[in-house]
Amino acid sequence: MSVVRKLYVTTRELYEKVAQPMPVNEQPRDEYIESVDLFLQARDQQLKGLPPVEKWTEAERQLGEETIKMNRYIDGRLASWKQVIQEELQGSRQKRRHMGKYEQSGATASAYFFDSKN
């Protein structure tokens, strides 16, 4: 199988993977992200071994065009995931800072106001 064909197959598998929604729970989500990362690493290695485009056959050129189309979709999905993860991290940081203020306040008896009604 040619390198172009292998790249197409790997890209197709990655395309199908990212077309699925990202799991919400932590454990399946980590496994999902790890599998996507493995596909990306495999594609990176295949891209390094690609021959010059001038040496591609007509069939390989068509596969290359389809690979580029799928890659655009993959890039868009990965960018949206990155945005979601960044927002979650931002919310987590803000929550931690907010909760830290309560823990550090060390409320004492002098910090309370007692309203006395006669």
44-53, 64-73, 80-89: least confidently modelled range? 80-89
> Using 50, 70 and 90 to split pLDDT, how confident is the model at 74?
very high
> Using 50, 70 and 90 to split pLDDT, how confident is the model at 1?
confident
Domain limits, the chain: 1-17+34-83
Average pLDDT, rounded, for the chain = 84
Bigger pLDDT: 20 or 100? 20
20-24, 57-61, 111-115: least confidently modelled range? 111-115
Query: Could you tell me the pTM of the whole model?
Result: 0.71
- Most confident by average pLDDT, 10-14, 24-28, 47-51: 10-14
7 Cβ contact partners less than 8 Å away, ≥ 6 residues apart: 43, 46, 47, 50, 63, 67
